[in-house]
Amino acid sequence: MPVFLIRLIRRVLGSRVGLPPLAVVLFVFATSWPLMVLAEPAGSDLVHPANFWWWFVVTASTVGYGDFYPESTWGHVVGGYVIIGGIATLTTLFAQLASMIEKRRGRRMHGSGTLEVDGHVVVLGYTPGRTERILDELHSDASLRLVLAAWPEVEANPLPERTVEFVRGDLTAESVLRRACVHRARAVLIDARDDNEALAVAVTVDHLKTGAHVVVALRDLDRAAHFRYVSDALHCVQWHNPHMLTEELQDPGITQVYEELMTHGGNGNTYSLRLPDATAFGDCQTALGRQHNATVLAARTPDSLLVSPSWDTALPAGTVLYFVSRNRISASQLRAALRGQRTGIGSD
């Protein structure tokens, strides 16, 4: 609220909204002081320069502390004049402020205003249902400030009940992206209506020279090469996987890790083996890591699939381990590695 009030005061001072009320109050002040000097008896504390401005403020605002007040009949008349002038001034000012707030709210609702944000996440494009799902997942990180920028056919903020800033316009126009503060964003998701449109938006985003992590949702990942012509910094993700998009926005580079695991496992391949004996997951992770430079990803017990379980999780014999390694590891090699770990002797 204080930030909002500060911005509002700046806008009032920077516009002509406050000029008529200011002119009225200055006129009333300039005329009431000499009138009060004439009306009050000589030596009155009220008309002293150090006191009159204070009396004028509390009287014009109808607060009336009563520490100073006119004593003569004509002084009361001047006091009434100050009260009427103060009420007229405040009424005019509040009416104009209310009008300004309503116009500002309307601009925000219709996406025609310019935002003042930085370090945020911008979603460029709106698809009913899909965009809500993406924003819901992004909202799991309370530290993220979100901005939705949509094409002109989206006439008003489609998510007024959510804490999402809204901008509307041609997403291939630099001015629209600047209103969404894309150039100061932390991450940008280009979620266009088709891949050709996504390419056009990506060109404009790249033109802004933003330092943001830019993610592009593509229906055809074979077209990712076209986006690399624009910039090597653009990261293309499959359009049909919104969850992967949100993970990439929050943790840049994570989809590349997934891609490596799904293709050839980074520096090795992804394999599986059955535990010959019951043991703890942490023992398997340590033994395979030290002896074979392998990383255990998950374990499938007779009851469920455990992805990266706690190290003290007990695994029965016959549990299937899934791991990344340069070479396939046999059950006998695992048994030897576990035995060597317990005795402190390495194994082949």
How does pLDDT run across 206-260, given as a tens digit for each residue? 999 888 999 999 999 999 999 999 999 899 999 998 988 998 988 888 887 777 7
Report residue 22's pLDDT band, with 50, 70 and 90 as the boundaries. confident
Q: What is the mean pLDDT of residues 146-172?
A: 90
pLDDT at 344: 63
- Looking at the domain that runs over 266-343, which CATH code has it been given? 3.30.70.1450
Which of 23-27, 60-64, 332-336, 339-343 has maximum average pLDDT? 332-336
Q: What is d(CA 322, CA 305) in angstroms, rounded to the nearest whole number?
A: 10
Q: Could you please state the CATH topology (level 3) that the domain comprising 121-262 is classified under.
A: Rossmann fold (3.40.50)
Residues of the chain with CATH 3.30.70.1450: 266-343
Q: What is the mean pLDDT of residues 108-123?
A: 86
Residues of the chain with CATH 3.40.50.720: 121-262
- Residues with Cβ within 8 Å of 7's Cβ and at least 6 positions away in sequence, in order, are 116
Give the pairing type, strands 187-190 and 121-124: parallel
* Contact of 339 with 347, CB cutoff 8 Å: yes
pLDDT at 178: 95
> Which tokens is 227 given?
């986006």
Residues of the chain with CATH 1.10.287.70: 2-110
Position 240, amino acid: H
Instruction: Say yes or no to pLDDT of 3 above 70.
Output: no
Could you give phi then psi for residue 251, rounded to 5 degrees? Answer: -130, 85
Helix intervals (H) in the chain: 2-14, 19-39, 49-60, 73-110, 130-138, 174-179, 195-207, 224-230, 242-250, 254-263, 281-292, 331-343
Q: Name the least confident of 63-67, 77-81, 122-126, 151-155.
A: 63-67
Q: What is d(CA 295, CA 273) in angstroms, rounded to the nearest whole number?
A: 13
pLDDT at 127: 94
Check the CA dihedral 247-167-126-171 and report its sign.
Answer: negative
Higher pLDDT, 63 or 264: 63
- Looking at the domain that runs over 2-110, which CATH code has it been given? 1.10.287.70
Q: Name the least confident of 7-11, 259-263, 265-269.
A: 7-11
Q: What is d(CA 293, CA 343) in angstroms, rounded to the nearest whole number?
A: 19
Q: Name the least confident of 6-10, 30-34, 48-52, 321-325.
A: 6-10
pLDDT at 325: 87
* Contact of 177 with 205, CB cutoff 8 Å: yes
